[in-house]
Amino acid sequence: MTLSAATENYLRALTPWADIAPSALACLSRPSFAGPFDERRLCDEAGLPSTQAIALIAFLRKLCELGLLEERADLKWQIKVPPNTLTSLAPLVAAIAFYRSALHRDETTARVVLTRPGHPSKLEDALRSMGFAAGRLEVTSEAFEDIAATARKRLVVMTPFLDIHGAGWLSNLLKRAQPSVQRTVILRYLSDPSHPSHPEGFSALRATLTTLGVEMLDYALRRSGTVGIETFHAKVVLADDDYAYVGSANMNRSSLENAMELGVLMRGEAARAVGRVVNAIRAVCKADE
């Protein structure tokens, strides 16, 4: 099958919307869409969730740029080409969506994960005003649970802050992993209860750690021959060196309930790089015991 230059141009332009384009194009090719329509009706008849409304409007505007659609003064849309043009594009874009989701594998894949600040939130208002659907981002707590449930060999949680609320969160996370999974928790200042950054939630977590056989590491090391402590501020959750979170979320009440936290959920080579760093941290912590 050989594609025309025009079709190739359409496909390149529509690929960013490959997840919603096939159903939208199939609807637009129906006789019932020969006249003016609004995006709400298209969203409903294409079976798209309301959370995709912003993406759908962007998609329709791209069709306008391509000369396939017209945005009218009455805020409705009008098809400008024969319906069979749209009908022919729908399966091609569906094939792109299938390839991207089921066949293609990047060396590294990454998704942004977010903990929203408490409501009302000026940040969410600002994101919406910019046309960015914050609701489409994965929630940090759900991402952590997915990492834990996915682990088959090891689960590592590395957090510089742990309070009583975070201890409950961490306990549930550790319990989600399969019984055979090696669990490791990396904290700091475990051996110095008087330090301001000593993890106050550790005592509440002790019974769970013992029951699950969790390896505890203290990455707060005295520097040899000089003053000061080698420690960390990174927040990491890692499964099997292949699936990792790196971001700002701590295991404490502030991160759970009040603060906006942002991170990246990654697979592939980037996750393996995180795994190598964690391996090195584990080695120096074990050597210092």
pLDDT tens digits, one per residue of 19-57: 899 999 999 999 999 999 999 999 999 998 877 888 899
Question: 57, 80, 103: which is the final residue of a domain?
Answer: 103
**For residue 160, pLDDT beyond 90:** yes
Co-location of 275 and 232 in the same domain = yes
Q: What is the pLDDT of residue 128?
A: 66
Q: Do residues 165 and 238 share a domain?
A: yes
- In percent, the amount of the chain with pLDDT more than 70 equals 91
148 domain residue, yes or no? yes
In a domain, 98, yes or no: yes
Q: Are residues 66 and 171 in the same domain?
A: no
Same domain, 153 and 34: no
Do 46 and 20 meet the contact criterion of CB atoms below 8 Å apart? Answer: yes
The Cα 198–Cα 137 span in angstroms is 32
Of 80, 41, 73, 35, the C-alpha closest to 57 is 41
Residue 235 has pLDDT above 50, yes or no: yes
Statement: residue 133 has pLDDT above 60: no
Are 99 and 118 in a shared domain? no
| CATH (domain of 42) | 1.10.10
Q: Are 246 and 232 in contact (CB under 8 A)?
A: no
**Residue ranges of E strands in the chain:** 69-71, 77-79, 108-115, 138-139, 154-158, 182-187, 215-218, 221-222, 229-230, 235-239, 243-247, 261-268
1 domain-assigned: no
pLDDT confidence of residue 134 = 47
Find the domain containing 68 and state its range: 8-103
Residues 99 and 124 in one domain: no
Looking at the structure, tell me whether residues 115 and 256 fall in a common domain.
yes
What digits encode the pLDDT tens for the residues 166-222? Answer: 999 999 999 999 999 999 999 999 989 999 999 999 999 999 999 999 999 999 998
Q: Which range has highest mean pLDDT (84-93, 104-113, 129-138)?
A: 84-93
Q: Are residues 61 and 174 in the same domain?
A: no
Residue 280 half-sphere exposure, CB side, CA atoms within 13 Å? Answer: 6
pLDDT score recorded for residue 39:
93
pLDDT bin (cut points 50, 70, 90) of residue 131 is low
Nearest one of 253, 216, 242 to 147, comparing CA atoms: 242
Structural domains of the chain, count: 2
Of 103, 134, 165, the domain-final residue: 103
For residue 102, name the pLDDT band (cuts at 50, 70, 90): confident
Question: Do residues 148 and 23 both lie within one domain?
Answer: no
DSSP 117: P
Which token pair is 209?
């750690």
Residue 148 Cα to chain centre, angstroms: 15
Domain end, chosen from 75, 103, 131, is at: 103
Is 250 part of any domain?
yes
